[in-house]
Structure 1
Amino acid sequence: MPFFLGRGEKQHSVEESNTTRLVTKLRWIVESINGRIKFFRYLDKVLPTNQVPHIRDYVHIACSLINRYFKPMNIGDPEADELLGAKMLFLSKQINELKNKVENDGLDKRSYKWSKIDSTDFDIEFPRLNEEELRNLTLGTYQTEDGKIIHRRTL
């Protein structure tokens, strides 16, 4: 279950954020499957109580039709998915160097010293990432608020 902010809290801790990301990654797959099952109008609504004994049969029928006529959800490699999961767990346990820098340098305080700069003050080259490097950095699929998938990696 993802963490929720308590009263007066403005931000999750690093550990809570990492755990929530891991839960969200897993829940996205589950909700995608649920969305396919709810494609069938009868299963998209609350069923009458006299239908409870038959729900399992209805879901089996719906899933059989989905498996036969829909594109598969999982076209990936189970070993690669397992490695991705292990990588996500490993990275979630690492020390957050950016958080440490923000706290140590007092960058989380509300007082700032602004100074004028222009492009000649810095010689920064931003990296250009290919699709594989971007996939490794983002660890898979992410969705925008309007529902568009930024990078699709089917699981």
Structure 2
Amino acid sequence: MTSARDERFYAWENRVVAPLDRSVVAFERMQAIVDHVWTAEGLRWPPRVRPRKATRATLATGSRLAIEAPDSLPSWILLHEVAHAMTSTAEGDGAAHGPDFVGVYVGLLVRHCRLDPEMLAASLAADGIRWNPQARPWCLDPG
């Protein structure tokens, strides 16, 4: 079941993020990108990328241990799933699409898709989407 918060967030993504990043990643390249992003964010032990059949409701999924994706995926959706992996536990508990998830995701979009942070912040505010600009991955390795 999708919440009103999720619907608002998905609408923001489709209106703001999708038009700015039209790149598509083939499944064969996804693990390398996940590994690169994970390392660039100061983390170890990235989730494994596994095949998944896309459905009408869900294109891909991400958790601390695995990202499941179809044969190809827009890069911003891959980063969305990486953000889920960074804000969830091995048991699947996580930030869903709350302020910490959105904060981590926006950071990934800025650093890895080179999107404008001020524009993202303004568009989130305009859409009434709460986010934590100071959010960090829950799985950040100490030291």
TM over 0.5: no
TM range (shorter): under 0.3
Give the TM-score, by structure 1 length: 0.24
More helix by percentage: 1
Q: Provide the TM-score with structure 2 as the length reference.
A: 0.25
Structure with greater strand percent: 2
* Structure with larger Rg: 1
